[in-house]
Homo-oligomer: A and B are copies of this chain.
């Protein structure tokens, strides 16, 4: 292998730049040329490539976002789009690909591999931590810390005003962000997609807590929980407990940005190195991840199709700790 391409795709995640830096420098370390592909699959189709050197990724390890940019590409979902992308890859002499992203990225990557056989190793870059084949995804630790930092601030107000706060964090399909936020944020309840918490049970819990002299409560709600979202839940609670001063904050896109944490920089660096080494060692159509701190390659198809469960121990922890 003489030349590889690297791109980021899907929602950006803190640590993507650290991962890109590791990919670039590992390739150069092993005497391989690296081309950056801008804006993911869209740039692949349009041949938006640039040669990357060691200094191209200087002073990037601590930066949020992705300097190669990311974009959605409906065109890549078509056979014609992928054909065009293949031709661009071919004519640029790229013999292997590193794909940094999440679900959607890997769905595209494995399809592309099936059709054109260019060896591809993925790195899990998404704040959602919902990929099978790795204990942690790049950006997850940062997103949780960012959310927690906001929750700490909101608690100052909750506590000063004897309020109930409903705080919505990211997580359309999983409670991976919500759960550590609830435990670390000293919340009373977490509502997550994996386990139904009824509004009634929330009302009961708040009632009992306040009878026991609690004067503020925090409920962490994952986007994807089943009772209809933070605004709806808060409305119902307000109706049942009209004396409570209940407020809603949706943390939103803030959770995606910012300088990556030490954990994410380390993970991103390690997986970036592993992607290039994987390609050199003949890996194809897999994702590099870490399980129990050990490097593992998992078929891309499994990372999408298999489900990573969240430990029920955590729900129990929230119950005990909010006594």
**Which A residues form the contact surface with B (CB < 8 A)?**
8, 11-12, 14, 16, 18, 21-22, 25-26, 28-29, 39, 54-55, 58-59, 61-66, 69-71, 135, 141, 144-146, 148, 150, 152-157, 159-162, 165, 180-181, 183-186, 212-213, 247-254, 256-263, 265-266, 269-270, 273, 292-293, 317, 320-323
Contacts and interface: CB of A to CB of B under 8 A. Distances in A.
Given A135-B293, A141-B263, A12 B156 contact: yes
Given A61-B185, A66-B160, A183-B266, 17 more contacts: A22-B320, A29-B320, A61-B184, A62-B152, A64-B156, A69-B159, A69-B161, A69-B162, A145-B261, A150-B254, A156-B256, A165-B253, A180-B266, A184-B262, A250-B250, A269-B321, A273-B320
Contacts of A253: 153-154, 157, 165, 247, 249
B157 A256 contact: yes
A65 B59 CA distance: 12
Contacts of A25: 320-323
A284 B271 CA distance: 40
19 contacts: A8-B160, A25-B320, A55-B213, A59-B155, A62-B186, A63-B156, A64-B157, A69-B162, A153-B253, A154-B253, A154-B254, A155-B257, A156-B257, A180-B262, A181-B262, A184-B265, A184-B269, A249-B254, A250-B250
A121 to B, nearest CB: 16
A161 B73 CA distance: 12
B153 A70 contact: no
A165 B257 CA distance: 13
Nearest to A163: B253
A155 B14 CA distance: 12
Residue picked from A153, A165, A260, A265, most chain B C-beta under 10 Å: A153
Given A160-B12, A184-B61, A249-B252, A317 B273 contact: yes
Given A249-B253, A265-B183, A266-B184, A258 B323 contact: no
A322 B54 CA distance: 9
Given A69-B161, A154-B257, A213-B55, A323 B29 contact: yes
Given A144-B262, A256-B153, A263-B141, A159 B59 contact: yes
A26 B322 CA distance: 10
A135 B294 CA distance: 13
Residue picked from A12, A150, A165, most chain B C-beta under 10 Å: A150
Given A253-B165, A256-B156, A263 B263 contact: yes
A230 to B, nearest CB: 11
Contacts of A155: 59, 62, 257
